[in-house]
């Protein structure tokens, strides 16, 4: 009997492993569908509460959805213009930075006194515009976001999913009441409300925190006389959604451009320290006090989810990692057989 139980347990483990492998393969193979869906789900969590409040004011649902679409397109146009202006500024000022970079390397070689014949003259005659062609910036952005047609197609798919989610929420709850007995339907409804409330709170707080960090860092860079302040602030805002090291990666861009422009100077050190102190205080002092109880996920689990979703969907997956893990934890808490997993995920 014990051997049968052990064999059955081994079969369950093996089956679970096979299911996980197949799930990863499916998520990677169909990422063109899953990424827009989960991006729409993220936006649904963000906009659901305001939409519900507007509906309580007796505003018709079509008018609310149309207003939301218009607001989203205006926001996208605004951010698109900011990014375009920042990239154009980078391309225009690239010759200046290439000259600074050549001067820095030449000065470094002179200080080190490297005994290589004609090395200094070779470095001084390097044409950085040929090595690092600024026109390739557009190609890099295109390879990141895809061609403009694909980007617009994904955007329309995200908005289509979002509209269906927002419009179909109430009808879905009504169908749940018809499909299950009263207690079961109420329990499922409570799970849905818990997921929505916790993820909404996390996204709202995280957005406000990131906006504060980006604004303060942008002000520090502006006072320090750094270039590309708006673009660097946007990088800090968006990459800060990736916990632990997203904001650190975003800070490398302004520090590098500042180093090329000003060299290893007091100005560079002061601005870098200002950026680091701002992110440390807000990210490690204020944010945990605000989100600690509502999020309640172990840092190790967050790191593992970042690695997993980053492997499956890249940067988008890393941005979605924490909201998805938070939603899974709430679902596990409300299913008795999966409740031990919720305790493992918990930071307690």
Identify whether residues 202 and 229 lie together within a single domain: yes
| pLDDT tens digits, one per residue of 252-288 | 888 888 887 777 788 888 998 998 888 888 877 777 6
Does residue 10 lie in a domain region?
A: no
Identify whether residues 134 and 269 lie together within a single domain: no
Identify whether residues 163 and 221 lie together within a single domain: no
Greater confidence, 150 or 217? 217
| pLDDT tens digits, one per residue of 311-339 | 888 878 887 887 788 777 777 776 777 77
Identify whether residues 110 and 168 lie together within a single domain: yes
pTM, rounded to two decimals = 0.72
Tell me what the pLDDT averaged over the chain comes to.
76
Residue ending a domain, among 157, 179, 201, is 179
Does residue 113 lie in a domain region?
A: yes
Residue ending a domain, among 179, 210, 233, is 179
Identify whether residues 238 and 196 lie together within a single domain: yes
Identify whether residues 63 and 100 lie together within a single domain: yes
Does residue 65 lie in a domain region?
A: yes
Identify whether residues 248 and 332 lie together within a single domain: yes
Identify whether residues 94 and 110 lie together within a single domain: yes
Does residue 308 lie in a domain region?
A: yes
First to last CA, the chain: 38
Does residue 99 lie in a domain region?
A: yes
pLDDT of residue 5: 64
DSSP 229-247: HHHHHHHHHHHTTSTTTHH
Residue ending a domain, among 151, 179, 207, is 179
Considering only CA atoms, which of 43, 15, 14 is closest in space to residue 204? 43
Does residue 127 register a pLDDT over 80?
no
| pLDDT tens digits, one per residue of 185-201 | 777 777 777 777 777 87
Q: Is 87 exposed, middle or buried (CB count within 10 Å of its CB: 0-12, 13-18, 19+)?
A: middle
Identify whether residues 54 and 144 lie together within a single domain: yes
Using pLDDT thresholds of 50, 70 and 90, give the confidence band for residue 146: very low
Identify whether residues 165 and 186 lie together within a single domain: no
Domain residues for 86? 30-179
pLDDT of residue 219: 92
Does residue 23 lie in a domain region?
A: no
pLDDT of residue 93: 67
Considering only CA atoms, which of 91, 278, 64 is closest in space to residue 162? 64
Could you tell me what percent of the chain has a pLDDT over 70? 75
Using pLDDT thresholds of 50, 70 and 90, give the confidence band for residue 3: low
In the chain, the number of structural domains is 2
| pLDDT tens digits, one per residue of 67-123 | 888 888 888 788 777 777 777 776 666 666 666 666 666 665 556 555 545 555 554
| Rounded Cα–Cα distance for residues 48 and 43 (Å) | 8
pLDDT of residue 342: 77
Identify whether residues 80 and 99 lie together within a single domain: yes
pLDDT of residue 246: 76
Does residue 7 lie in a domain region?
A: no
Does residue 18 lie in a domain region?
A: no
Identify whether residues 249 and 304 lie together within a single domain: yes
| pLDDT tens digits, one per residue of 229-257 | 888 888 888 888 777 677 778 888 888 88
């Amino acid at each position: 009997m014990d051997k049968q139980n052990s064999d059955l347990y081994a079969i369950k483990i093996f089956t679970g492993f096979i299911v996980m492998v197949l799930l990863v393969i499916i998520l990677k193979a169909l990422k063109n569908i899953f990424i827009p869906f989960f991006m729409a789900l993220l936006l649904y969590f963000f906009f659901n509460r305001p939409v519900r409040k507007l509906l309580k004011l007796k505003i018709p649902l079509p008018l609310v959805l149309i207003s939301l679409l218009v607001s989203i397109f205006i926001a996208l146009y605004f951010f698109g213009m900011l990014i375009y202006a920042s990239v154009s500024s980078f391309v225009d000022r690239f010759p200046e930075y290439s000259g600074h970079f050549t001067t820095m390397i030449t000065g470094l070689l002179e200080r080190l006194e490297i005994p290589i014949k004609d090395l200094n003259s070779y470095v001084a005659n390097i044409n950085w515009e040929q090595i690092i062609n600024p026109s390739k910036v557009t190609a890099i952005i295109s390879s990141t976001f895809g061609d403009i047609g694909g980007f617009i197609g994904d955007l329309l798919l995200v908005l289509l999913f979002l509209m269906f989610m927002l419009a179909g929420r109430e009808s879905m709850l009504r169908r749940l009441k018809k499909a299950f007995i009263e207690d079961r339907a109420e329990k499922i409804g409570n799970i849905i409300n818990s997921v929505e409330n916790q993820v909404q709170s996390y996204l709202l707080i995280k957005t406000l925190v990131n906006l504060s960090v980006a604004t303060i860092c942008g002000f520090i860079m502006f006072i320090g006389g750094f270039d590309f302040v708006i673009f660097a602030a946007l990088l800090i805002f968006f990459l800060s959604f990736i916990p632990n090291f997203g904001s650190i990666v975003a800070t490398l861009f302004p520090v590098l451009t500042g180093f090329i422009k000003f060299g290893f100077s007091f100005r560079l050190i002061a601005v870098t320290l200002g950026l680091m102190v701002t992110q440390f205080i807000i990210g490690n002092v204020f944010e945990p006090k605000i989100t600690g109880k509502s999020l309640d996920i172990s840092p190790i689990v967050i790191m593992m989810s970042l690695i997993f979703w980053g492997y499956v969907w890249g940067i988008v997956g890393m941005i979605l990692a924490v909201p998805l893990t938070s939603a899974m934890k709430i679902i596990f808490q409300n299913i008795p057989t999966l409740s031990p997993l919720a305790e493992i995920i918990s930071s307690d």
